[in-house]
Amino acid sequence: MAMPRAPPQAAVPGGGAGAAAGGVTMRMFHGDVFLGEAEVFPMKQGAEGSLPFPSNEIRISHLSPTSERCPPLAILQTIAPFSVRCKLQAKLMPPHPSLHRLYLTCFNEYKSAVVVVGDEELHLVAMPSKVEKVPCFWCCSVRSGIYAASVGMLNLRCLAIVFDLDETLIVANTMKSFEDRIEMLSRRMDIEDDPVRIAGMSAEIKRYIEDRELLKEFIDTDTVTDNGRIVGTQKEEVLPISGGQERVLRPVIRLPERNAILTRINPEVRDTSVFVKLRPAWEDLRSYLTAKGRKRFEVYVCTMAERDYALEMWRLLDPEANLISSHNLAERVVCVKSGSKKCLQNVFKDKGCHPKMAMVIDDRLQVWDEKDQPRVHVVPAYTPYYAPQAEMANAVPVLCVARNVACNVRGGFFREFDENLLRKVFELMYENELLDLPYAPDVGDYLVCEDTNFAPNNKDVAPIPEGMSGAEVGKRLNGLAYPRDQKQIPSSTRLSDDDGVALRGIPGGTNIQSNGGSLATTPSLFVTVLQEIGRLCESRVEFRSTVSSGKNMQFSVEVLFSNEKIGIGIGKTRDEAQILAAEKALQNLESNYLSFMAPVAGVLNKDVNKPPGSGNGFLEDITLSEDISMEEPSGSTLKEQDHSKALDRLSSVISLIRELCLEDQHVVFRDQVRDSGSALNGEYHFQAELGGQILGRGIGLNKDFAKLQAAEEALKTLKTTTDPQIKKHLRPVRCNS
């Protein structure tokens, strides 16, 4: 329910303190109907204060849609913050009757008067005033079409959610991709000596073969034998999308016990048959999005897959078209060229939503444009063949965590919108200044950005990609297996539903802490304090999680402070590892702080035996420990001069690598924790990557020695490689004539 507004009073001639002195008189029209004259006052002085109206006249084309609960200024501040270009008020008193009627209509019905200038809309917002009874407006600019879409979403308390497909919601394979993966794993087994890893790869191959045989039977007979039961195909009609298409009936077999579906992209071509595994708990997430007939999110898809394939995969996920209606499907399923960056601006090219009001569910962060990355909730890649038990490793399934995150993002966004922005907008008057406008919420404020790495389980190498990539699908669903960059596992953020619905797997005592606008689980004081330090220092705090599977599954969490590792924790649960990592990070921060301040301020000796958490729980009461850089583990026998030589050599090798790579391509060194033993004894593992391809690995008792080993191996790889996926990142070789 909207707050009551103060009745319109009057304007101060000259536009108030926020407008530049000296107004310009302009004639106002609604279409071809003359409304009277108005004085226009730019909000800024000089060139920045130029008036936006062409031909020195204000020609209104239409009125915006009526807003049920949100005044136009609140909507405009949300989608185009601080976009007030000028103020205007009626020149004559009493005003022209038509202008007075326009003002009252806009004020009372929560509408704005829209002037269209190119691809921009200028919204005239009726404002109350402190002095005289004269129509007065603020003029705000916004991209054409975005206001009309945002009115409905904000009134319905609705945001947008964008899904990736492959390895986020599904894993799909053709006969060719099955055979490629079986062959790749077989080659790895031939050169493997560790019996544990051989057993793991053998089990993975067995799972691939089992599903390949089902797909082969589907291709040959349009049936499958599942646990001795013969299951035949059902003809499922593909609803026509906008633009029109012929009626299509696809042969489909759904195996809910296996969480699998077999389908045929082109019903006439059996080789386009696909075996699809759906991620567990998709139904929970889908039900939340459509529960009680209430639209909580507008749903979009953004994928690097081929379009026909993407449309069919989404149809399997949303067979009744409850999430995306058939007439919106063409615009809502967005296919991006493989290798390109995904971008919310392109997803919403139909102007259906503003990026600030959208969140993304994806298994990879780096495929998104940098400005959109704060709005991405990263889920671990779905790997049903490599690690089928991973989905159930946590008390809350991955997609249930995503659901919990989504509902808390929505709850946090609209709490800020209602309790701060709306309340303050209702208090604003015509005479207020631009800086009096309140802060507008952004979905990115309520997501904890975690760039986490997937650690190999029982293997020295990362898992092969389990489903088809966009490039594969583009080759008639029969392409090669392309390596993908390492997948990411975010820590399970457990949050409460904004509608008060009890969420599965959520402990009742979870403590939710607000950190600079972001909602994050705070399982201990250490995590809370660390996040607060990051906020005060305007530095990014990240928790990177890895997990190793086996009889004794252990989690490892690293803490990065402004991209520098300052702590690591290992535990039986991710929360335990996160607490230990945060505690270690605080100890290192204190050690670094004291070593910096002692010579300057004469810091008194601390009682290093004091337990963490005594006193006020902040820096001064946390136990001293290892140096923040963590570069020299205890017991190291490396000589200082050897370390210096290694650094010089590393710098030279990296320079040589840069000369080989294109200007916009860079080799990335990733710190890999292989197991709990190596992490505890100070052994470091690094791998060098270029465009997601692993070029070399290094191991050492010092970061720089491990990185040098990885760099030298990477340089050798770049000089000798024939792999086209690597060569595309390198400078062309110049031949001397």
Tally of CA atoms within 13 A in the half-sphere of 335 that contains its CB = 18
The residues with which 457 forms a beta bridge, in sequence order, are none
Residue 723: both structure tokens together: 């792999």
CB 322 within 8 A of CB 290: yes
Residue 412: both structure tokens together: 């946090």
| 148 and 185 fall within a common domain | no
Region of residue 293 (phi > 0: left; psi between -120 and 50: alpha; otherwise: beta):
left
What pLDDT was estimated at residue 480?
35
**Phi, psi for 65 (deg, rounded to 5):** -60, 150
Q: At which of 395, 412, 429 does a domain end? A: 412
| 319 and 273 fall within a common domain | yes
**Number of structural domains found in the chain:** 4
| 97 and 176 fall within a common domain | no
| 151 and 184 fall within a common domain | no
pLDDT in tens, 472-526: 555 545 443 333 333 333 333 333 333 333 332 333 333 333 333 333 333 456 7
CB 353 within 8 A of CB 298: yes
| 128 and 241 fall within a common domain | no
* Distance, CA of 598 to CA of 614 (rounded, Å): 22
The CATH number of whichever domain residue 99 belongs to comes to 2.40.290
Q: At which of 380, 412, 444 does a domain end? A: 412
Burial of residue 248 (number of CB atoms within 10 Å: 0-12, 13-18, 19+): middle
Q: Which residues, in sequence order, are CB contacts of 75 under 8 Å at separation 6+?
A: 67, 147, 150, 151, 154
| 190 and 150 fall within a common domain | no
Distances (CA, A) of 484 to 469, 662, 690: 8, 20, 11
CB 5 within 8 A of CB 426: yes
Q: Token match 């009609």: residue? A: 237
Q: What is the DSSP letter of 210?
A: H
Whether residue 467 lies inside any domain: the answer is no
| 145 and 171 fall within a common domain | no
Q: Token match 């409905």: residue? A: 152
Q: Token match 């002085």: residue? A: 45
Whether residue 516 lies inside any domain: the answer is no
Whether residue 19 lies inside any domain: the answer is no
Buried b (16+ CB within 10 A) or exposed e, 126-150: bbbbeeeebbbbbbbbbeeebbebb
pTM of the complete model beyond 0.75:
no
| 40 and 150 fall within a common domain | yes
What pLDDT was estimated at residue 484?
36
Q: At which of 565, 594, 623 does a domain end? A: 594
Whether residue 522 lies inside any domain: the answer is no
| 220 and 142 fall within a common domain | no
| 44 and 170 fall within a common domain | no
Residue 408: both structure tokens together: 């808390």
The CATH number of whichever domain residue 555 belongs to comes to 3.30.160.20
Burial of residue 22 (number of CB atoms within 10 Å: 0-12, 13-18, 19+): exposed
| 139 and 169 fall within a common domain | no
* Distance, CA of 164 to CA of 170 (rounded, Å): 9
What pLDDT was estimated at residue 390?
80
* Distance, CA of 113 to CA of 139 (rounded, Å): 9
Whether residue 334 lies inside any domain: the answer is yes
Which residues does the chain have with pLDDT short of 50?
A: 1-2, 4, 6-20, 451-461, 476, 478-523, 549-551, 595-639, 674-680, 734-737
Instruction: Give the domain range for residue 716.
Output: 661-672+682-728
What pLDDT was estimated at residue 310?
95
Whether residue 547 lies inside any domain: the answer is yes
The CATH number of whichever domain residue 691 belongs to comes to 3.30.160
What pLDDT was estimated at residue 114?
96
Whether residue 17 lies inside any domain: the answer is no
**DSSP assignment of 312-365, as one string?**
HHHHHHSTT-SSS-GGGHHHHEEE--TTSPB-HHHHTTT--S-GGGEEEEES-S
What pLDDT was estimated at residue 686?
83
Whether residue 130 lies inside any domain: the answer is yes
| 366 and 261 fall within a common domain | yes
